[in-house]
Structure 1
Amino acid sequence: MRFAGVGVTREGYRIALPGAPVEVLERCGVERPVARLAELAARTPGGLTVVVDSANGLLDAPLAGAGIPVLRADPPVPADGGAPAEVLAELGRTRPGSLTALPSAGWTMSGREEEIAAADRASAPVERELALAGRLVAGGTGSEPLVALTFDDGPDPEFTPRVLDVLRRHDAPAAFFCIGLQALAHPGVVRRIADAGQTVGSHTWSHAYLPDLGPTGLARQLGHTGEVLAEACGDGRAIRWLRPPYGGRSPALLRAVDASGLVTVLWDVDAKDWSRPGPAVIAERVLSQVRPGSVILMHDGGGDRSQTVAALPAVITGLRARGYRIVDLDALPAAA
């Protein structure tokens, strides 16, 4: 068994195998490193295991789909940003027992559910404080029949334009929380979101679990993403909104995000469209949970989102049939 470490940089991905030169893949979508790792796995006697850290939530699902085992390194490894690929590969070779094996049908943070839930609960007082100040949107507050549609994990060159087409036909606003590495690979798709008059927000550089990061790592995740998104939008706009991956938060993180000038956006309606249960189920999940002030979470990237595209017309028409008006984030209660 050999181990490959995958790290991320301002320009893309780095793949390292012990004893081999580091491979650099720049300005590319997630498909390219996954394809390269699948190629290496096919050529490796005894198989290949990939090591990532909790600052990289992009690769585990597509690698699992390709049948490649994934191990996750937790703090202190990514304490101040993402760990270098060489460090991750060496951890796999020398200390595999210190790493967490990710289940093929699980999620990036599998095994840390209780810890994450405890951090979320501890964050509640700071969330209320920031919401009252207009610095956090949680969803489900207020009495007016207003809702916001949000999409995570893009931009995707196939599915984001299809979502935009549905929104245009139904004259519906939405917010797109973009991953920086994906935006670097597909700036034209980000530009199309902006040109359509939709909101562009940050979903971090590499879908990181932000509470694991130190100040430098957090600044890179937010700063790199903001720079790439602003450049892609082409109009000099500053990025205002942040959706933390997994909704991961802590009191210290929420205050650090606020100090950076970003407004945190959570959600109260989860379509769980990533599970691909069928368009009718996706629409029913949204319509059965919605309430005044809801923030609805869906996805335009991170995998096959054809079911999301198919469900979206029923979501929009169903919301309006129930008397809801779909609005931009800044029209919701507790938005800045």
Structure 2
Amino acid sequence: MGLTREGYRIAVPGADGGSPGTVETYERCGLERPVARLVALARQATDGFAVVLDSANGIMEAPLAAVGVPVLRADPRSLTDGRVTAEALAELGHARRDSLTALPSGGWTMSGREDEVAVAEADSGPVERRLARRGLLVNGGVGAAPLVALTFDDGPHPRYTPQVLDVLARFDAPATFFCIGLHALAHPAVVRRIVAEGHALGNHSWSHAHLPDLGPIGLGDQLGFTADTLAHACGGTRPPRWLRPPYGGRSPELLDAVADLGLTTVLWDVEARDWERPGAEVIAERVLSRVRPGSVVLLHDGGGDRSRTVAALPAVITGLRERGYRIAGLEELLAAQLAAEV
């Protein structure tokens, strides 16, 4: 399973394991069509079947796991700078299966590499502080001003993002939407509505990639494709300045590279873990019990069923205001954080 600037490519090895027997392209569409095709291929297989992804494709493993299709991850040692074709992944699955990692059901893209990820994030602390002083990184919970920013990841989604926007409009609350480029490509009208209603856009990579795994070319593609797609959806306006690395995955080298591209990295301090799909009351309680001045709240409008997030949002907004917080955009929050540093 590979990715292009236009969508998804599925390659299936030929009977002799040589060149792919079939290569199929799915352009400017949501996940439903390629996932349905992979499910059909899995059902047709008579001698075992698995989908090979790399860590630059984090949007596929959850829907595939949900329908019982096995997923194997190819790591950087087997790849070249994150520029991975469907054909190359199919060849890896046939010829070098022992170099791949089977993702557990209910796991995540980086399962088995948690220690490595934690070390890189811990090493990033000094760079984060340096960039924060320059206004090139936002880390929630900084400053004394009673401001809170609401952020939503993994959209746009044709069903749930409009529902989130309806709630935000009803309560006159601003937010930032960190969009996956492939989703924005499939649903540009939703992107236009986000901007038309006064909210901000952020870059969340092309395919929910673990960005520290990528070299300069792969990183440029992931962020550049997304920036271009968001700008095009909005009529050629300036690409968003905000970047949220998927999973919060970061390293010192990545943070500096992102800053060199003129992007401001946005992390968070309040995570509702709404992707677990608890009840709306639990989602609201997780936010309200952890919030503090300067918090950045992480919620999701895409990546799965977000009906419970939508249901929780009115209680989140009213609860924040009852506690004396004002919901602000990232620009205002960052300005307050920089002022607190002076």
**TM-score scaled by structure 2?**
0.95
Q: Which runs of 5+ in 2 are unaligned?
A: 15-20
> Paired residue for 1:325?
326
Q: CA RMSD in A?
A: 1.2
Give 4+ residue runs of structure 1 displaced > 6 Å after superposition.
none
Bigger mean CA deviation after superposition, 78-87 or 26-35: 78-87
Looking at structure 1, the residues matched to 129 and 200 of structure 2 have their Cα atoms a distance apart, in angstroms, of 24
Contact 2:83 2:217 in 1 (8 A): no
CA drift of 1:80 comes to: 1.3
Q: What secondary structure, in the 3-state scheme, does the structure 1 residue paired with 2:9 have? A: strand
Deviation at 1:73, TM superposition (A): 0.6
**Other-structure match for 2:150:** 149
- Structure 1 residues 1-336: aligned runs within 5 Å: 6-19=1-14, 20-234=21-235, 236-332=237-333, 333-334=336-337
Structure 1 residue 78 displacement after superposition:
4.1
**One-letter amino acid of the counterpart of residue 259, structure 2:** D
Deviation at 1:76, TM superposition (A): 2.4
1:53-110 C-alpha deviation (Å, 9 max, x unpaired): 0000010000001110001011123441241111111111122121111111111111
Looking at structure 2, the residues matched to 94 and 334 of structure 1 have their Cα atoms a distance apart, in angstroms, of 52
Range with greater deviation from structure 2 (75-84 or 255-264): 75-84
Three-state SS of the structure 2 residue aligned to 1:224 is helix
Moved more, 108-117 or 73-82: 73-82
CA contact (8 A) 1:267 1:296 kept: yes
Which whole-Å CA distance do the structure 2 matches of 1:17 and 1:334 have between them?
A: 51
Which letter does structure 2 place at the counterpart of 1:109?
A: M
What is the rounded CA distance, in whole Å, between the counterparts of 1:63 and 1:184 in structure 2?
A: 21
Question: Deviations 1:276-305 (Å, cap 9, x if unpaired)?
Answer: 011010000001110110000000000000
- Length-normalised TM-score, structure 1: 0.96
Given the superposition, is the C-alpha separation of residues 82 and 30 from structure 1 closer, same or farther in structure 2, using an over 3 Å criterion?
farther
Q: State the one-letter code of the partner of 2:301.
A: D
Identity of aligned residues (%): 68
1:53·1:82 contact (CA, 8 Å) conserved in 2? no
Structure 1 SS opposite 2:76: coil
Name the SS for the 1:76 alignment partner: helix
Which secondary structure state, in structure 1, belongs to the residue aligned with residue 207 of structure 2? coil
Distance 2:66 2:338 in 1: 38
What secondary structure is seen at the aligned counterpart in 1 of 2:198? coil
Equivalent residues of 2:178, 2:204 under 8 A apart:
yes
Q: Deviations over 1:33-68 (max 9, x none)?
A: 111101111111134210000000010000001110
Contact (CA 8 Å) 2:9, 2:25: kept in 1 or not? yes
2:18 is aligned to none
Query: Are the counterparts in 2 of residues 136 and 335 from structure 1 also a CA contact under 8 Å?
Result: no
Q: Which runs of 5+ in 1 are unaligned?
A: 1-5
Instruction: Tell me the CA shift for residue 201 of structure 1.
Output: 0.7
